[in-house]
């Protein structure tokens, strides 16, 4: 997914942590009830997208 950035919709995310289990880069974490992606680690493979039961993870174009 070149040129894509994986983003979490904070309005939809329930911080279930399902995405954390599948991320091979260990790029996702929950802190104070908010799930976030460490973009230094994320390689935009998109594995976390289908793992989210809420459908809160999507991609946006990035330069």
Q: In the complex, which residues of this chain contact ligand SF4 (CB under 6 A)?
A: 6, 22-23, 25, 27-28, 37, 42-48
Minimum distance, C-beta of residue 11 to ligand SF4, in the bound complex (Å): 19
Return all residues near 9 (Cβ < 8 A) that are at least 6 apart.
56, 57, 58
Q: Which residues pair with 35 in a beta bridge?
A: 30
Minimum distance, C-beta of residue 7 to ligand SF4, in the bound complex (Å): 10
- Tokens standing for residue 3: 């040129």
- C-beta of 13 vs 27, nearer to ligand SF4: 27
- C-beta of 11 vs 21, nearer to ligand SF4: 21
Tokens 């680690």 locate to: 41
């Amino acid at each position: 997914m070149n040129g894509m950035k994986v983003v979490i919709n904070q309005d939809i995310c329930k911080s279930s942590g399902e995405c954390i289990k599948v991320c091979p880069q260990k790029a996702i974490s929950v802190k104070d009830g908010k799930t976030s992606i460490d973009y230094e680690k994320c390689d935009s493979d998109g594995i976390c997208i289908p793992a989210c039961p809420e459908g809160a993870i999507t991609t946006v174009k990035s330069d």
